[in-house]
Amino acid sequence: MTLDLISRRGILGVFAATGVAAAPVMANAFGFLRGAGDIRRIRMYSGRTGESIDTVYWVDGKYVREALNEINIFMRDWRTGTAIGIDPRAVDVAAASHRLLQTNEPYMMLSGYRSPQTNAMLRRSSRGVAKNSLHMVGKAADLRLKSRSVSQMYKAALACKAGGVGKYSRSNFVHMDCGPVRSWGA
């Protein structure tokens, strides 16, 4: 299924295909992930470090601490080597969007946690970097897929209704976070 035009009918088709009941209370990342059985999995790689991660981070209604620790290290600020606790809800948003996209390809993570120093440096070179970025508190990720367009990824993340979603077509990535529900770059 391609997501060139994600519609209510398309989302309902994903629900039907994965066995998730389409109900208003399920209209968020956690609802989409409930259809995954009682596990949640994330697959990513970093072109910056050459590292990859493929881990089940939620089993039987609980986050797996060891897996979250691996995610924290993987999503560290690659410029400084600094790692913090990544908000598991940020991982949930990415995993739910990935599930909607129906691909086995891992995300390419461009940016996870950013130290204040890294964020300030990026702000000096790009006006698209927020002064109080959620990247600095472990609540955001910038992601890319080769097999899906930025528009497809953006629409899948929007469908989760679980945080902020930014579309960066010229840079070929989508920002996903677990902050307030909002969107930009449409």
What pLDDT, on a 0 to 100 scale, did the predictor assign at position 80? 95
Q: In what order do the strands lie in the sheet with 107-111?
A: 62-63, 52-59, 39-45, 107-111, 140-144, 173-177, 164-168, 182-184
* Structural domain contains residue 186: no
Those residues of the chain that have pLDDT short of 70 are 1-37, 186
* Structural domain contains residue 140: yes
* Structural domain contains residue 135: yes
Residue with tokens 């999503």: 75
What pLDDT, on a 0 to 100 scale, did the predictor assign at position 12? 37
* Structural domain contains residue 96: yes
Structural domain for 140, as ranges = 8-181
What pLDDT, on a 0 to 100 scale, did the predictor assign at position 17? 38
What global pTM score does this model have? 0.80
pLDDT tens sequence across 12-28: 344 333 333 333 333 45
Who contacts 135 (Cβ-Cβ below 8 Å, separation ≥6)? 111, 112, 113, 114, 119, 141, 142
Contact 36, 186 (CB under 8 A): no
Tokens of 131: 């002064």
Instruction: Quote the number of domains for the chain.
Output: 1
* Structural domain contains residue 75: yes
